[in-house]
Structure 1
Amino acid sequence: MSVCLLASLCCKKDAEGAFDTELKKLVEASVKEPGCVAYELYQYKDDPVNYVIKEEWNNEDSLSAHMETPHYKYFVHISPVLLDKPAKVKILTRLV
């Protein structure tokens, strides 16, 4: 079964443009990775500093490989400057 990851992120109010740009770069590179089933970015309609990333990977190995890519490591490196608080990440296993 595939593995899903849900990440909730809240950027600083003065960092919205830069955060949006960096998230879109991350998504663009991630969807091209082997093992990526889906990599979707959402923004709260009523609170534009809040985002959700929904990822789906073929398996845990694919997710682990993603976390070793240069684009993922770059985003993790720069995100503390842009985030209002640490991201909340949950890993889920598809049951059906």
Structure 2
Amino acid sequence: MPYVYIIECRDGTLYTGYAVDIVKRLDEHNKGEGAKYTRGRRPVRLRYIETCPDKSTAMRREYAIKRLSRRGKQALIQSVSLLNRVLDINKFG
């Protein structure tokens, strides 16, 4: 299953990509074997992930996210963060 992801680089910049094996892809980024952009900005941290039904959809979604401003990407990351907190709270309530 393809994933679209946003990682935060050591210098605070955000990188968007897609992958089938997200764990392997993050490992590649952190070993300097991933995208040229991230090679000099290691380590990277996963900040956002979403699943897509197929590669074509993932590539379109990646393109849409890449077109967002930094503020737009941060809002996307924040929305997932807030949702996770709500889900964690509901787990105990």
Normalising by structure 1, we get a TM-score of 0.30
> More strand by proportion, 1 or 2?
1
> More helix by proportion, 1 or 2?
2
Normalising by structure 2, we get a TM-score of 0.31
Higher radius of gyration, 1 or 2:
2
